[in-house]
Amino acid sequence: MTDYTRAEMMVVAAARELRDRDVVFVGVGIPTLATILAKRTHAPNLWLLTESGIVGAMPTRLPLSIADPCLVTGTQAIVSTVELFSLYLQRGWIDVGFLGGAQVDRFGNINSTVIGPYEKPAVRFPGSGGACEIASLSKRTMIIMPQGKRRFVEKLDFLTTPGYLTGGDARQRAGLLGGGPSVVVTDLGLFRFDPVTKEMYLATVHRGVTVDQVRENTGWDLRVAEDLQVTPDPSEEELRVVRELDPTAHFLSREA
């Protein structure tokens, strides 16, 4: 078996969660990398959409930003930003919203706004962009981020993007149309959500990672699947494509 990094495992595990013919609304960086990986391996017919209004992109390189021109040439349709959010996302055409974030809580809510108080933050992040509505309106949301105690937190400093809110049927009661988070993938493992409580649990650990390591990098008392598995290793093919897309490990080293 080829050697691989945990960041590579993360992107491969996430890519596998995408299905052929999914309509995928991606954020730039690792979500795009994982989506292109899926498209070049098991899901050749998925549609890649970005908030810059590009529909059905076939990028020739790993895009540098959501508006990289390599996403445009050869795509099937282009609409304005507000059209993408209204006619596609709000209308219910998006199967998967694929997001990163700075902090996540046990119910899959995300913070990408501030650390500390909103009015005088210790750290100011870029803000929601389209994340709030992507997670509100996609049929399912996938979250990918490196793991750590300051990222997997008991309480978010700011709720930018709704997951299951306070859990149970809170999301449904709030009237959010999309289905909510289906998975969180990190460099340590893969997390799913309890169908009733909507609390995140550890579903698989990546090879060489212990449950204790995951717990140490989680800011709450983490639940673990009874039938916890090891994440299947990346295939040669998956690794080849990831490395072709990100030869300098630019995205993978920076964010993981």
Partner 1 sequence: MADDKLMTMREAIAQYVNDGDTIYLAGLSHLVPFAAAHEIIRQRKRDLVFCRPTPDILLEQMLSVGILRKVEFCWAGNPGIGNLRVFRRVVEKGLPFPVEIEEYTMFGFTARLLAGAMNLPFMPVRTNIGSDLPAKNPKIKTIQDPYGGETLSVVPALRPDVSILHVQRADRGGNAQVWGITSDHRDAAFAAKRVIISAEEIVDEAVIRADPNRTIVPDFLVSAVVHEPFGAHPSYAQGFYDRDNDWYQEWDRLSADQAAVDAYVAEWIDGVPDRAAYVAKLDEVTKAKLQIEPAWSGQISYGVYK
Site for partner 1 in 16-75 (CB under 8 A): 23, 28-29, 44-45, 47, 51-56, 58, 60-61, 63-70, 72-75
User: Which among 76, 90, 144 is positioned nearest to 112, based on CA atoms?
Assistant: 144
**In the structure encoding, which two tokens stand for residue 205, read together?**
């650990």
Q: Which of residues 116-155 bind partner 1 (CB under 8 A)?
A: 118-133, 136-137
- Which residue stretch of 114-122, 139-147, 190-198, 211-219 sits at the interface with partner 1 (rule: CB under 8 A)? 114-122
Q: Mind telling me the catalytic residues? A: 51
| Contact assessment for residue 32 and residue 96, using Cβ atoms and an 8 Å cutoff | no
**In the structure encoding, which two tokens stand for residue 211, read together?**
């449950």
Distance CA 227, CA 196 (A): 18
Identify which of residues 126 and 195 has a Cβ nearer to partner 1 in the complex.
Answer: 126
Work out how close the CB of 78 gets to partner 1 at its nearest, in angstroms, rounded to a whole number.
5
219 lies in the site for partner 1, by CB under 8 A: no
Find the helix packing angle between 6-16 and 236-245, rounded to 10°: 110
User: For 152, which DSSP code?
Assistant: B
152: left (phi over 0), alpha (psi -120 to 50) or beta: beta
Identify which of residues 50 and 147 has a Cβ nearer to partner 1 in the complex.
Answer: 50
Identify which of residues 73 and 210 has a Cβ nearer to partner 1 in the complex.
Answer: 73
177 lies in the site for partner 1, by CB under 8 A: yes
Work out how close the CB of 93 gets to partner 1 at its nearest, in angstroms, rounded to a whole number.
7
Work out how close the CB of 1 gets to partner 1 at its nearest, in angstroms, rounded to a whole number.
32
Distance CA 82, CA 96 (A): 18
Name beta bridge partners: 37: none
In this chain, which of 5, 19, 42, 78 binds partner 1, going by CB under 8 A? 78
Number of Cα atoms under 13 Å in the Cβ half of residue 100: 23
- Which residue stretch of 2-10, 170-178, 197-205, 213-221 sits at the interface with partner 1 (rule: CB under 8 A)? 170-178
